[in-house]
Amino acid sequence: MEAARELGAPDDGSEDKPSGFLNFLFGSDDSESPKKSAEAGPETEPVQGKENDIGLSNDPKQNKRDKELSNSVEGSIEYWHGEDRVPDSLEQTKEVLTEVMGLGASFDIVFREMTFGGTKAALLFISGFAKDVILDEILKRLTYLTPDDLSSDAFAAFMQKYIPHIQVEKSEKLSDAMIKTMAGMSALFVEGEAQVIIMDTRAYPVRGPEEPSIERVVRGARDGFTETLLSNIALVRRRLRDPGLKFELHQVGRRTKTDVAIAYIDDIADKTQVKAVTEKIKTVNIDGIPLADKQLEEAIIGEKWNPYPMVRYSERPDIVASHLLEGRVVVFVDTSPSVMVIPTTFFDLCQHAEENRQTPLMGSYLRWVRFAGIFASIFLLPLWMLFVLQPELKPAPLEFIGPHEMAKIPLLVQFLIIEFGVDLLRMAAVHTPSPLGSAMGLIAAILIGDIAVKTGLFVNEVVLYMAVATIGMFATPSYELGLANRLVRLLLLVATGLFHVAGFVIGSTLFVLLLTINRSYNSSYLWPFIPFNAKAMGAILYRQSVVSSSTRPSFNKTRDNTRMSENEGKKGKP
């Protein structure tokens, strides 16, 4: 009944009577219908909004709304207006905006009609995005106009003389006005003109740049990306004052129209790679990407069952600037505080900004420790379980490895339980309020772990090595890489527990093959190890100083391979 009331159907209290749609499906006694129609007489008119036997309203406009299937702004405008052009009548413009944009239904969409110098005009904007100070200044200036000021061409006068704003453009498409208004701009319609003036008066609700929680450094910049595209681009522009730095803007999603910017340095980046990324983004045909960069990555990369990331995410503008100087392509997505760096390698994901904030010696030491932690997060637990299951494989110096007393639960089941337990704790830590996080950690570490060992459910060494592997996972700079390594470790544990040596060897081989066949935009994922490049591999293992890095990585296929001037480059050559 509530739905019927909303559609305008009369409420006569007969709730038990079947609706017209049910009568159409199952049939009803219509013997009295002709009689009632005859009694009603020819002057009886159908009630406005009453549903007929096929479920449609007698209101033609409502029927047209119900039949609309367009899923884009352009399609909706063509459906209601016939063409994607700005009407020359404000009343007609208002009707189209009412049907397409929800004018009158959405409280934050404002269509302010005014008269300036005897000419009718209307300002369309979204109240949550419009910057009041700018709009007030524009309207204040326009109120001083007289009919003599607008005697010749009112639209040209508005556009060129009397709107005191910098970012102003005109368009003949109504879809441009709607899309840009929904992005925060304001549109000024003038009576009798088939054009619209679009002004950039937006002011998004934003937060200030803060240090990223994942890529923290002891020394270094504390500013990180935010959810605003323009702010993120400005942070990179501040570090790269190169006129060759380009930001190409695109929109993805038929409904969301999300702004996506492709950044590269024109005289360094590989143009073929830039074109490939651009064409891939242009061909994305989905309704929207409300989850920003991750959904865009899935649309342009297409790796469904590969656990390893094919792009590098970063929230630090200094890291992004460094990658741009190396010839990479960077993709910014509005509403996301992280950006995608394309292409990437396994060793890129293992490096951190902290290594470059220390001396080359200390940076190399930190890099070795991190590599050791990543290696331990993958192979430590499978190797230990293999030595326990087959003690004859243990070298003599490692005879102490292995439990002296077995627990009540099989070893493989212990590993599976503790693996899932660590993941559960990690997810619980995300949803736990900060003041309670320490308490939850103490409960997990002391109560659960200690009591599980004392009751004989777990072996001491299982808990110990699992803690070391978990630390190695959290020491991985890339969060996505750490999760992928954790899944590989779990599969290696199962293979080793079931098939012992054969399971460990075959599983490790398949792991290396998976990394080898991976391609990040036609670039080797294990470069410079496969294909092997001795000089580049040395730069991975040993953090080089800035003056000794005279060339860019060949992995990026850059147009300009030199980092220094020609004279300095000759000095650096052996």
Helices (H), 41-131: 60-67, 73-81, 90-100
Give the C-alpha separation, 269 to 558, whole Å.
Answer: 5
Q: Under the phi-then-psi rule, with left for phi > 0, alpha for psi from -120 to 50, and beta for the rest, what region is 319?
A: alpha
Going by their DSSP bridges, the two strands 196-199 and 186-190 should be labelled as antiparallel
- Which three-class secondary structure state does DSSP give residue 45? coil
Tell me if 57 sits within 8 A of 64, measured CB to CB. Answer: no
Q: How far does the chain reach from its first CA to its final CA, in angstroms?
A: 87
Give the C-alpha separation, 259 to 229, whole Å.
Answer: 8
- Which three-class secondary structure state does DSSP give residue 339? strand
Give the C-alpha separation, 466 to 546, whole Å.
Answer: 38
CA-based torsion, 451, 457, 461, 463: positive or negative: negative
> What six digits make up the tokens of 470?
């978990």
Q: Which class for 214: exposed (0-12), middle (13-18), buried (19 or more C-beta within 10 A)?
A: middle
> What six digits make up the tokens of 230?
């323009």
Measuring CA to CA, how many Å separate 91 from each of 87, 95, 113, 159?
9, 6, 10, 21
Q: Which amino acid is at 261?
A: A
Tell me if 122 sits within 8 A of 113, measured CB to CB. Answer: yes
Neighbours of 157 (CB within 10 A): 19
Q: Cα 501–504–508 angle (5° rounding)?
A: 145
pLDDT tens for the 574 residues of the chain, in order: 444 444 444 444 444 444 444 444 344 444 444 444 444 444 444 444 444 444 556 778 888 888 888 878 888 999 998 899 999 999 999 999 999 998 988 999 999 999 988 889 999 999 888 888 888 888 888 888 888 777 667 777 787 777 877 788 899 999 999 999 998 899 999 999 899 999 988 887 778 888 888 888 888 888 999 999 999 999 999 999 999 999 999 999 988 899 999 999 999 999 999 999 999 999 999 989 999 899 999 999 877 788 999 999 999 999 999 999 999 999 999 999 999 999 999 999 999 988 888 899 999 999 999 999 999 999 999 999 999 888 888 888 888 887 777 777 888 888 888 888 888 888 887 777 766 666 666 666 666 777 777 777 788 888 888 889 989 988 999 999 999 999 999 999 999 999 999 999 999 999 999 999 988 888 899 999 988 989 899 999 999 888 888 888 888 888 888 887 655 544 444 4
φ/ψ of 95, rounded to 5, equals -65, -45
Give the C-alpha separation, 216 to 142, whole Å.
Answer: 50
The model carries a pTM of 0.80
Task: Show contacts of 205-210: CB within 8 Å, 24+ apart.
Answer: 205/128, 206/231, 209/235
Tell me if 170 sits within 8 A of 86, measured CB to CB. Answer: no
